[in-house]
Each structure stands twice: as structure tokens, then as C-alpha cells.
Amino acid sequence: MSGLGETTDDTFAEDVLQASVPTLVDCWAEWCAPCRTMNPLLERLANEEDGRLRVVKMDVQANPETAERYDVFNIPTLMLFVSGEVKMTLNGFAPIGKIKQEIAPHIGG
């Protein structure tokens, strides 16, 4: 499965916390210009790392419970979950190279 998935307050535990592969969560909102700019970068990353990494988007306005639980106060925020635990967080726009550098120790290879 390649490309970007989506998660919600209702499906977060299954989609992210119980995922069998490391999962990068993109906390975003439609009105956020940097969030929209990152979308193609994350799509590319999801395709390049298919099988080793899952990338999902979570609209923080529509899913405030999860955003609050993980202290997401700024967007975009990327959080990498491995075996249900947050292993890395990036706040604000990040170029693809920075994202790859930060997730590499956690996804192997």
C-alpha cells in the first residue's frame, strides 16, 4: 500500500498505535499553507519507503482529541510512531532530506 493514508480520533489506535510498520503521522489542517506544501513531499516519501514506513495524515481540526493527547500545538507536526511509541517529532515545514534523516534510525535499512 503506497501513498498517503488518513487517520482520525476514532481510528488512530488501529491505524497508528497498532501498526505493523513505523508510521509517520502528518498533523495538518486545510487552511495551513506549509501543510499543503509538504503534502507532495510526504506522498513521495510514502511511495519511496512503501513496506518500511506508512505515512498518514490527520486533520487536527477534525480530530482534536488525538492532537491534544500528543500536544500538537503547531502545524505541520510530524510524529513517527514505532510499536505504539512516539520516536521522533518535527514541528513546522521540513524539507524531504531532513525528514528522511530524522526517520532513518527508526525504519531500518
Q: What CA–CA distance (Å, rounded) separates 103 from 51?
A: 14
Which CATH number fits the domain that encloses residue 26? 3.40.30.10
pLDDT at 108: 74
Q: How many domains does the chain have?
A: 1
Q: What is the pTM of this model?
A: 0.94
Each residue's pLDDT tens digit, 73-108: 999 999 999 999 999 999 999 999 999 999 999 997
User: CB pairs under 8 A, 24+ apart, for 88-94?
Assistant: 92/34, 93/34, 93/37, 93/38, 94/38
Asked whether the beta carbons of 38 and 94 are under 8 A apart, the reply is yes
- pLDDT of 3 higher than 90: no
Which residue range(s) make up the domain with 74? 5-107
Percent of the chain with pLDDT over 70: 97
Distance CA 15, CA 79 (A): 14
Average pLDDT of the chain is: 94
What's the pLDDT band for 109 if we cut at 50, 70, 90?
low
CA angle (53, 56, 59) in 5-degree steps: 160
pLDDT at 1: 44
Residues with active-site annotation: 32, 35
